[in-house]
Amino acid sequence: MKLLPIVKALEDYDNNKRLAKLKQVLKKNNIKFKAEKYNSGENVIIGKGNILFVAHHDTFPNSPGANDNASAMAVLIGLAKKRKAAIVIFGEEETGCIRAKAYIDEHGLPKAVVNLEMMGRGDMMAIWPVDYQRPLLEKIRNGIRKAKISFEEARKVPMFWADFTAFRQAGLKDTWCLTLVPSSERKLIRRLATSTLWATFLILIGGIPEFFRHYHSHSDNSGVLTEKSLQLSLNAVISVYDELHK
């Protein structure tokens, strides 16, 4: 299953159009879903289970949002075609994980949450934030190893958040984020992820990794992503799913 055409179909500056496009893609691929509406937004729910694979469908203002986060949506669509996964695609992540919080209020906490962010550029998986050890975290590591993809772990990533944040704030410990990054920039990304002061300095001098230069910008389009990277991400996520469901 090709994923880059799905990213191209989903990228859009308008969040309402992105949501409509997501539903169209799901229908085209015969993936059953439920649209759960709230006061100011909507979540898209696929399947049932207590281990959730999640991403967000909204984008940052003035960005077409190909890597952030149409790439993750495409990978989740690929996962839904291969496995009977419990998937939630949240709205309003960019404005403070609002719909993730609404989901928790409505459904409570699951057993675990694997959050996907920016899955279309790179060749190495980042697991973050890894600030404590858990048995399910080792299963995630094993899944990525079995997919034969190298990975790095970050204790924190200053100035970045994702929908897993809402679950952690609600008390769930078994929730982490996966992001595909270039191994060629692993040292610089590691430095960015370990120090708020260093991250601020890099941003001020324009020395951030090339990987982040399309982040939240007009240039975050499908032209800067690759099918190879998307397939690497999908293979890793399928392998993680298999490990977590043993």
pLDDT digits (tens, 9 = 90+) for 98-109: 899 999 999 999
Query: Is residue 197 predicted with pLDDT exceeding 80?
Result: no
Q: How far apart are CA 162 and CA 90, in angstroms?
A: 10
Task: Give the pLDDT confidence score for residue 2 in this predicted structure.
Answer: 98
**Is 80 exposed, middle or buried (CB count within 10 Å of its CB: 0-12, 13-18, 19+)?**
buried
Query: Is residue 240 predicted with pLDDT exceeding 70?
Result: yes
Task: Give the pLDDT confidence score for residue 161 in this predicted structure.
Answer: 75
How many domains does the chain contain in total?
A: 1
Q: Which residues of 24-48 are buried (b: 16+ CB within 10 A; e: fewer)?
A: ebbeeeebebeebebeebbbbbbbe
**Comparing 87-91, 172-176, 204-208, which segment has the lowest mean pLDDT?**
204-208
Share of the chain above pLDDT 70, in %: 87
pLDDT digits (tens, 9 = 90+) for 107-152: 999 999 999 999 999 999 999 999 889 999 999 999 999 999 999 8
- pTM as predicted: 0.92
Share of the chain above pLDDT 90, in %: 76
Q: How far apart are CA 132 and CA 10, in angstroms?
A: 35
Query: Is residue 189 predicted with pLDDT exceeding 90?
Result: no
Query: Is residue 198 predicted with pLDDT exceeding 60?
Result: no
What average pLDDT does this structure show over 75-91? 98
**Comparing 29-38, 166-175, 180-189, 192-201, which segment has the lowest mean pLDDT?**
192-201
CATH (domain of 124): 3.40.630.10
The residue range of the domain holding 122 is: 4-244
Task: Give the pLDDT confidence score for residue 205 in this predicted structure.
Answer: 47
Query: Is residue 210 predicted with pLDDT exceeding 80?
Result: no
218 Cα distance to chain centroid = 19
pLDDT digits (tens, 9 = 90+) for 21-56: 999 999 999 999 999 998 778 999 999 999 999 999
**Comparing 72-76, 93-97, 130-134, 222-226, which segment has the lowest mean pLDDT?**
93-97
The residue type at 201: F
**Comparing 7-21, 37-51, 207-221, which segment has the lowest mean pLDDT?**
207-221
Q: How far apart are CA 228 and CA 234, in angstroms?
A: 10
